[in-house]
Amino acid sequence: MISHAPMDTIALPFVVPLEGGSNFRDLGGYRTADGRRVRRSAVFRSAHLGTLTETDRAALRRLGVRTIVDLRGVSEAAETPHRIDGVDCRVVGAHIEPGIGDKIRRAIEDGSATPFLMVSYLTEHYRDYPRRCTPGFRTLFSTLSDGQHRPVVFHCTAGKDRTGFASALLLTLLGVPWETVVEDYLRTNELWIGHIGRYPELDIDTRAAIIEARQPYLEAAFEVVKADFGGAEAFAEQALGLGPAARQRLQSELLED
């Protein structure tokens, strides 16, 4: 049974335990800089939903999920399709191709994979989010902004990188302090179990550089947001189509006193 105890009495974020999934959590409950709170049970983030059990699907039904936004690439999504039979929701494809995966595989195959190289790959990957991946994020935020589609779950494969940047951007636009945004981002390191058994051929430091959510990665993306666009609000307007009125409506619907 999913409990919705008052947010002040439980640890943030509110995690939905799943038998066949991980890193599924409510983005609600966080305090903004002006003292408001992100509304609960409206927006959820997750790792992929391709191994859900019937118990997990019942959990999604209890949450009233209306829309799932899939940030995975086309082939990536086809390899692990959603297991959501019986969940009355629609799936929106907001495909962001995971080109970094091919680079990592080539480095492993030719023996060039090192912690330094993997950090450089991941850092550049995050920098690409605001530069080259805006169509997928535009689709996501268009869906998030439409109250008819909520509650919304958005996810990639791990719920770490693409989902991590999107979550950080949403919380930032809602006025959540950066320190809290980073804390939410880093919680993936505690909640994502899909990395277990991955890259067994790598040493621990090289593997960690790939599978961990790291603050410098997220900061690299937001440095581009600031340098190329002038900040999160300007990025939302110029790249995602969220002008001042749309951002104000998003705040009014997703924030409460």
CA distance 181 to 185: 6
Structure tokens at 53: 């059990």
Would you name the residues annotated as active-site residues? 156
Residue 13 is predicted with a pLDDT of 61
Identify whether the C-beta of residue 145 lies closer than 8 Å to the C-beta of residue 249: yes
How much is the pTM?
Answer: 0.94
Bridge partners of residue 255, in order along the sequence: 38
* Helix, strand, or coil (residue 37): strand
**Domains in the chain with CATH codes:** 12-256 (3.90.190.10)
pLDDT tens for the chain, 257 residues: list them: 333 334 343 345 699 999 999 999 999 999 999 999 999 999 999 999 999 999 999 999 999 999 999 999 999 999 999 999 999 999 999 999 988 989 999 999 999 999 999 999 999 999 999 999 999 999 999 999 999 999 999 999 999 999 999 999 999 999 999 999 999 999 999 999 988 888 999 999 999 999 999 999 999 999 999 999 999 999 999 999 999 999 999 999 999 99
Instruction: State CA 208 to chain mean position distance.
Output: 19
CA distance 195 to 226: 31
Count CA within 13 A, CB hemisphere, residue 202. 24
Identify whether the C-beta of residue 17 lies closer than 8 Å to the C-beta of residue 25: no
Write out the E strands in 3-85: 14-15, 25-26, 37-38, 43-46, 67-70
